[in-house]
Structure 1
Amino acid sequence: MIDPKPLTPAERELAALDCDRVLVGFQFKPSPLEIGRLTVTIRSHGERLHASMLALPPKNRTRRSDAALRDWGDLIAQGPRPVPLGAWTYLRALARTVRGFLEVLADADAAKGGVR
């Protein structure tokens, strides 16, 4: 079950750091076992952030927020492709979308003058 509470500032920072760990060059690509572990971690961050994105008031919705929500939906529906590097490519796409969620939510926080 997904925790419906928004991520705390510390949890958002952890999510950002996890995205940084994923979005590395090919020479730093994690092992298949680590890719699986990171996929679970990034999906968990994304699911909680997705709930926060859906809760944004209409005035905070942008093209970027709508695109990130569409991307998340597509990624969750499709899953990784059964091709070489498919799991790593999928993980990276999840991480880019989570990073987008974090940036949209930070912008919304700044617009209202605080941290969610």
Structure 2
Amino acid sequence: MSYQPIEPFPRQTFPTQVHFDRSELSVIMSLYGRMVAAGEWRDYGMSSLRELAVFAVFRRTAEHPLYRIEKRPKLRHKQGQYAVVGTDGQILKRGKDLKAVLRVLERKLIRSVE
């Protein structure tokens, strides 16, 4: 019988690339569809990188993104793994719940009716 030492703090393994899963994309695409219908957004792009996944939103295709929705799994126990980043790189909202983080963008849909 061979002895296997027990590792007191098992290492967390992260995938080689970070992706949005189906439920996360469903929430993001729901917001995206409403913003397209309102005429605010026109295009999007997705990137899956080693440490983060990015969903970038554009007003026109050839521009810099208006907003970036980022997922960083390594921050899930600290500030939260989801963040909305503005054009200038400022973090508008960060948290553990994607729907709560995306509420900062839903405010753009509320307009006063004259």
- TM (norm. structure 1) is 0.31
Q: Which has the larger share of helix?
A: 1
Q: Which has the larger share of strand?
A: 2
Q: Which has the larger radius of gyration?
A: 2
- TM (norm. structure 2) is 0.31
Query: Greater RCO between the two (CA within 8 Å, min separation 6)?
Result: 1
